[in-house]
Amino acid sequence: MIEQSVSVAHRNFLSVKPHSVAFSINGYPLYQYEKPILNLAIQSSPSEYLLQKYKDFIKILSSDQSISSKIIPFYPSEEEFFAEKECNLLSDRVHISYREKEPLTELENRIYNIYNEYQEKNWDGYGAEPMQYLNQSLQFAKALFAESRILIESVEVIPENDGCLCFEWFKSNSKFINISVKDDKLIYTYKFGDDKSCGETTFPGKHMLIEQVKKIV
């Protein structure tokens, strides 16, 4: 984990019109980073105006559903909060601490690579669609990882011609499970000896499938 901090001072805040600043680090917006921490350290004595703007900003953050963690910091002490997207901040001087994202799990890397590699239509020579459902596939990968690292170590990710990514655990022709991620659905086939099934479920039903994966693994 690398922590760095960047000090950002922006334009003269004493003017009547508030300034808005979109924070980025080396040109990459904040949401590219793993939970960047914005330390709002107001270094100079704030005017009432500034203080009010600071309060307003916190209010905006609190109401923003996309922000995963809501901490209400307040002057004068430094507080930390997390932001997942670019945010507008009205302040005098801001210290930003951020962590470089932990290396993606190897599975997430594979998903990204396959998703990017198979963006050309007809990539299989038979009219295949470009890859879709990246976020849903990553979400599923995270769910697997949360369950057990072992599950993701033996999975193979395979592109399918309808744009889905398929997660496959294959031991033999009589012992395998395939789970394709299609929008909010998980389409599965599995065979475990004489026990053979196929169907689809939604993400809340993934635990049933993960139990089947454990049998294979």
Partner 1 sequence: MIFKKKMKLNPRIEDNEPLARYLFSEKHFSKEKQRVKRQAFMPTKENKVSVIRHKDCPEDCALKIGKKLEDTRTTSLKAFCSILTKDVRAINNLNVVSDTSNYQHRRHANIIGFSEAKMRAIADDLAELASENKSLVVF
Q: Which of 127, 135, 193, 194 binds partner 1 (CB under 8 A)?
A: 127
Stretch that binds partner 1, among 28-36, 39-47, 97-105, 116-124 (CB under 8 A): 116-124
What is d(CA 85, CA 153) in angstroms, rounded to the nearest whole number?
31
* Residue 158 binds to partner 1 (criterion: CB under 8 A): yes
For 27, 35, 50, 176, 197, the CA distances from 181, given in Å and listed in that order, are: 32, 26, 48, 17, 17
What is d(CA 45, CA 52) in angstroms, rounded to the nearest whole number?
13
Give the 3-state secondary structure of residue 135: helix
Length of the chain: 217
| Cross-strand pairs, 181 | 165, 186
Q: Which of 27, 76, 103, 125 binds partner 1 (CB under 8 A)?
A: 125
| Cross-strand pairs, 89 | 21
Q: How far is the CB of 160 from partner 1 (least distance, A)?
A: 5
* Residue 126 binds to partner 1 (criterion: CB under 8 A): yes
Q: How far is the CB of 16 from partner 1 (least distance, A)?
A: 59
* Residue 194 binds to partner 1 (criterion: CB under 8 A): no
* Residue 160 binds to partner 1 (criterion: CB under 8 A): yes
Q: How far is the CB of 198 from partner 1 (least distance, A)?
A: 4
* Burial class of residue 155 (count of CB atoms within 10 Å of its CB; 0-12, 13-18, 19+): buried
84 or 160: CB nearest partner 1: 160
Q: How far is the CB of 159 from partner 1 (least distance, A)?
A: 6
DSSP 187: E
For 89, 163, 191, 196, the CA distances from 34, given in Å and listed in that order, are: 19, 28, 38, 41
Identity (one letter) of the amino acid at 7?
A: S
Stretch that binds partner 1, among 43-51, 94-102, 114-122, 201-209 (CB under 8 A): 114-122
Which pair of tokens denotes residue 90?
């009205």
103 or 127: CB nearest partner 1: 127
Write out the binding residues for partner 1, residues 26-65 only, by CB under 8 A.
Answer: none
Residues that contact partner 1, how many (by CB under 8 A): 26
Contacting residues toward partner 1, per CB under 8 A? 114, 120, 122-128, 158-162, 166, 168, 170, 173, 176, 178, 180, 187, 189, 191, 196, 198
